[in-house]
Amino acid sequence: MKASDTKQKKIVINPVTRIEGHAKVTIRMDDKGKIDAARMHIVEFRGFERFVRGRLYWEAPTIVQRLCGICPVSHHLCAAKAMDGIIGVDKLTPTAEKMRRLMHYGQTFQSHALHFFHLSSPDLLLGYDADPAIRNVIGIALKYPDLAKQAILMRKYGQEIIKATSGKKIHGTGAVPGGINKSLSNEEIALLKNDIDQMLEWSVQSVDLYKKMYMDDIDRLSNLGSFESNFVSLVRKDGCLDLYDGLLRAKDKDGKIIFDKVRPIDYLKYIREGVRNWSYMKFPFITSLGQEKGWYRVGPLARVNNCDFIDTPIAEKQRQEFMELGKGRPVHSTMAYHWARLIETVHSAEKIKELLDDPDIKGKDLVTAGKRRHESVAIIEAPRGSLFHHYKVDDNDQITMANLIVSTTSNNEPMNQAIRRVAEDHIAGQKKVTEPVLNLVEVAIRAYDPCLSCATHAIGQMPLKVKLVDFRGQVIDEKVRG
């Protein structure tokens, strides 16, 4: 792009609201109103990969989880899995494996509830063009009080699962290298069992609600911020959806396998990370396809597209219905992410119910050990997508290298694509840009990720400031919100 020799307009959304973290969007148009560039900038720097260096390997699961307050469990468990590898443990005791899985399903359940109800549903239930003053979770509580209460209780339930398995609702210490530090008591199990049927019922109602919403407005929603892409996720050895562990699978836009059954330790042979000079966030891509064509999507849509089946009955039935949207190909719609997300919410509730009936979660054999190694890679399916943790540890037990590819990073290019698509459909050629139209940009981002703190963090208010400027930087139109 040559800003100096074309007459361009630039729209800046800074910061993007109703996400956790700090991001800025810029949309550049040429003098004919055509979209020249649409970008999401991650404008702050974190640095966990650097400051875990020199720390003892068993500290990693407790340190790196502080990347995030929404899905710390994913980082906690992924680092713990990596450290299992460092101490030579390839198989946990049944109690440790099931306690960690329970923690993870609790995490997915609460995070998906938060993502959909608290952060995204105001756009869907109140309208993307509703008054911004009420287009939020308070507006939902006023108009749909029962639904709002349900959303809060669903999140609370997931948090209670996390507390029971890791000791705290946020930033617990349950997973340790080689296992877990506690199992569940009869009292804890009884307490959690009290509400699981209600949670499952609400989860099914949620997916049905969104399904109807989507199908009733399919022309608009299926196109909003949509594009075709590759997909990457873990799947179990037999192709089943697995959020906690498995092997990497990549499919192309037509659903053909790009790679499959890739062990986490081999990820660097298949995935690389590119950088661009306008964002602190990297741009991962499938090595064999190159940076231009190899970018991919992760998260609920990728997982549901990639797996062959789901091993819980209600979620599997929902998956089959969902896949009909693609007519034999993967589903590519950005707004279908929410649908897939709610299918996973159902799956998580079903898995929690199953695990609460499993006597192994009361077991006492918590930790195991093996022969020490110096390098380990673990992958877990965090709520927003595949999360990679790669560590090297020296003979003194100190971490010498850490590489974390978070789901937000993998979805970086896709979010840019979604912004571009919204800009092309709704902003190109417009002389004035309305607030609802700008909100559509954010709606598309939120479908992927309302939580950018893996790559950034912000303190304080998040006002929205938008400027429409010409190529000389002269402000033509300006809107401030928040």
Q: Is residue 236 at the binding interface for other proteins, with CB under 8 A as the rule?
A: no
**In this chain, which of 26, 173, 287, 368 binds other proteins, going by CB under 8 A?**
173
Question: Per rule CB under 8 A, is residue 373 in the interface with other proteins?
Answer: no
Indicate whether 247 belongs to the interface with other proteins (CB under 8 A).
no
DSSP string, 323-372: HGGGTTS----TTHHHHHHHHHHHHHHHHHHHHHT-GGGG-S--B-----
Give yes or no for residue 24 binding other proteins (CB under 8 A).
no
Rounded to whole angstroms, the Cα distance separating 216 from 163 reads 39
Rounded least distance, CB 55 to other proteins, Å: 7
| Phi–psi pair at 162, nearest 5 degrees | -65, -45
Of 54 and 127, nearer to other proteins (C-beta) is 54
Q: Which is nearer to other proteins, 59 or 129 (CB)?
A: 59
87 or 286: whose CB is closer to other proteins?
87
Q: Answer yes or no whether residue 172 interacts with other proteins by CB under 8 A.
A: yes
> How far from 38 is each of 123, 318, 418, 421, 424, CA to CA, in Å?
22, 34, 9, 9, 9
Residue 66 as a binder of other proteins (CB under 8 A): the answer is yes
Confirm or reject binding of residue 159 to other proteins (CB under 8 A).
Answer: no
3-state secondary structure of 121: helix
Residue 86 · residue 177 · CB < 8 Å: yes
233 vs 296: CA distance, rounded Å: 10
Cα(74)–Cα(367) distance, rounded to whole angstroms? 20
The residue within the footprint of other proteins, chosen from 186, 396, 461, 474 (CB under 8 A), is 396
By the rule CB under 8 A, 167 interacts with other proteins: yes
CB of 467 within 8 A of CB of 481?
Answer: no
Task: Give the tokens for residue 198.
Answer: 């209600």
Among 174, 225, 299, 450, the residue binding other proteins under the rule CB under 8 A is: 174
Q: Is 53 in the site for other proteins (CB under 8 A)?
A: no
Name which position in 31, 56, 269, 308 contacts other proteins (CB under 8 A): 56
Residue 448's nearest CA partner among 333, 299, 322 is 299
Query: Using the rule CB under 8 A, is 398 a contact of other proteins?
Result: yes
Nearer to other proteins, 139 or 174 (CB): 174
**What is the distance between the alpha carbons of residues 83 and 393, in angstroms, rounded to a whole number?**
9
Count of positions on this chain that bind other proteins (CB under 8 A): 22
Of residues 448 through 477, those in contact with other proteins by CB under 8 A are none
Chain contacts with other proteins (rule: CB under 8 A)? 54-56, 58-59, 62-63, 66, 166-168, 171-174, 176, 181-182, 367, 396-398
